[in-house]
Structure 1
Amino acid sequence: MADSSVLLVLHDVAPETWPDYREFVAAVDRLGQIPMSWLVVPDFHRRNPLDASPDFCRLLDTRLARGDELILHGCYHADEAPPPRSPRDWFMRRVFTHEGEFYPLDEDEAMHRLEAGMALFSRLGWPLHGFVPPAWLLGPGARRALARSGLTYTSDPGHFYLLPDYHRIEAPGLVWSARSAWRRGMSRVVSEQMLRRHHQAPLLRLGLHPVDMRHRLSREYWLDLLIRLLRDGRRPMTKIDWLNQHRRAAREAA
């Protein structure tokens, strides 16, 4: 496991969700220098504009100073587009999720929102390399817009994609569905199965959500799993640091 890594990724980061994460982040900090990747929403559900939350922005400044990475995660994290018209779109936007913001957008609107998020990061002095769409959903228009955004990468639950050509890199990720007791129990079983399947994988990503932090079972599972993986010798990294390392190794091997 000497060359293997673990990435701790916090989804849906916003002033509203920070109270969910606060104690968990403090517990991780007590383990030592564990870099994290924060998926930051510029205005979560249109009620959390970062520009109106200077204290929270200063908190994220301190996380950058610790070596964490801030990643653009949508604009509003809410699907506000007109109702779906096809059975597939209805499933993706009403059954799979109600928050796939970038799934129904055309290219112009997707680019407008990407540029707004990028401008916000620039105003706040935050370096920006990656974009992760809410619910990992990119429609065709958003996919084209992201390709010409100038950003470095995006990702889904199982892969990284290097932009602009969407070159795919295997990157297995664990994620829970924690909204009910039976879902939490099933998520634990599935996570352990994935750990066995990907035990030798050079990279494992742990994708946490605010709802995970609201339940003792899921919250303690993530902390215990992180500790297990660190004891196994996995190196904690941010997404961009791991990708930079991966690209250097690929160049040297070429």
Structure 2
Amino acid sequence: MAEPTASRRSLMLVLHDVAPETWPDYQPFVQAIDDLGGVPMTWLVVPDFHHRNPLACSPSFCRLLEQRLARGDELALHGYYHADDSPPPRGPGEYFMRRIYTHEGEFHGLDQASALERLQAGLALFGQQGWPVAGFVAPAWLMSEGTRQALRQLPLRYTSTPRHLYRLPDFTAFDAPGLVWSARSAWRRKLSKVISDWQCRRWREAQTLRLGLHPVDMRHASARNYWLETLQQLLAQGREPLTKSAWLERQAVP
């Protein structure tokens, strides 16, 4: 485990599942963040969300993402379809991960060749748009060993899991704990707040902290307000907002 470089404490605001159909969910929240001023965001972009949102067919949304880059935000690759369309799971463990924990673990069951093909397709799309890309985040943070091997072959600088950022290609791990909600139902939202409040206290002195937002969070006032208030509290504590790439650039090479 690599040690983060000693510096001002930071935070990273990360928008998951970015696609044309999820933009209406995010738009009011993004405007609220823009109104705060000086808070860069990392947008996890899905090239064809659930096989129905090809970015190539959404030029206005692509222009929006270009505008975000011009503001200092970062775009990262977030799967390709964000949907698990691999063969049916085998065994109870795989069934739990792919049917109960999530139906969107696109890269959980892929072999190296399949993972490499999708990653290269995603990077090609970014290249066609002229978007710089340094990072890949697997949907639901689930990566097969084949995916990890594929990532070692590509010109990407990082990937991440809920607790760590990994510098590629050697997967050097850096502590970067993250908060995330499950907002699909009222009881999940209540439990998420309890857990996130506890994690904020636990990680109060952490060098960095990630806020991992999802479109469903934006559909519920309790979740949306929680993220905005938590961000403001962390900024008031003196944390510096950074994109993932900017944060990683500050970390010492072992």
TM tier, shorter chain? over 0.9
CA contact (8 A) 1:2 1:233 kept: no
> Which residue in the other structure is 1:244 paired with?
249
Does 1:114 find its partner at 2:119? yes
> Per-residue deviation at 1:148?
1.1
User: Within 2, Cα distance between the matches of 1:4 and 1:54?
Assistant: 37
Equivalent in 200, 210, 218 of residue 213 of structure 1: 218
Equivalent in 63, 66, 70 of residue 65 of structure 1: 70
User: Within 1, Cα distance between the matches of 2:192 and 2:92?
Assistant: 27
> Per-residue deviation at 1:94?
0.6
> Which residue in the other structure is 1:40 paired with?
45
Point out where structure 1 has 5 or more consecutive residues left out of the alignment: none
User: Within 1, Cα distance between the matches of 2:178 and 2:129?
Assistant: 30
Root mean square deviation of aligned Cα? 1.2
Equivalent in 133, 158, 162 of residue 138 of structure 2: 133
1:175-219 deviations in whole A, cap 9, x for unaligned? 000001111011111011001111001100000000000000000
User: Within 2, Cα distance between the matches of 1:235 and 1:204?
Assistant: 10
User: Within 2, Cα distance between the matches of 1:81 and 1:195?
Assistant: 36
Alignment partner of 1:169: what SS? strand
Alignment of 1:136-151 (within 5 A): 136-151=141-156
Alignment partner of 1:78: what SS? coil
User: Within 2, Cα distance between the matches of 1:84 and 1:189?
Assistant: 32
Does 1:100 find its partner at 2:105? yes
User: Within 2, Cα distance between the matches of 1:142 and 1:238?
Assistant: 24
1:108-133 deviations in whole A, cap 9, x for unaligned? 11100000000000110100000000
User: Within 1, Cα distance between the matches of 2:176 and 2:29?
Assistant: 24
CA contact (8 A) 1:2 1:234 kept: no
1:111-167 deviations in whole A, cap 9, x for unaligned? 000000000001101000000000000011111111111211100110011111111
User: Within 1, Cα distance between the matches of 2:58 and 2:128?
Assistant: 14
> Which residue in the other structure is 1:86 paired with?
91
Alignment partner of 2:17: what SS? strand
Does 1:77 find its partner at 2:82? yes
User: Within 2, Cα distance between the matches of 1:177 and 1:223?
Assistant: 16
Point out where structure 2 has 5 or more consecutive residues left out of the alignment: 1-5
TM-score calculated relative to the size of structure 2: 0.96
Does 1:157 find its partner at 2:162? yes
> Which residue in the other structure is 2:196 paired with?
191
> Which residue in the other structure is 2:3 paired with?
none
> Per-residue deviation at 1:2?
7.2
User: Within 2, Cα distance between the matches of 1:51 and 1:129?
Assistant: 20
Alignment partner of 1:83: what SS? coil
User: Within 2, Cα distance between the matches of 1:85 and 1:183?
Assistant: 28
CA contact (8 A) 1:41 1:76 kept: yes
> Which residue in the other structure is 1:5 paired with?
10
Alignment partner of 2:209: what SS? strand
> Which residue in the other structure is 1:54 paired with?
59
> Per-residue deviation at 1:233?
0.5
Aligned residues: 249
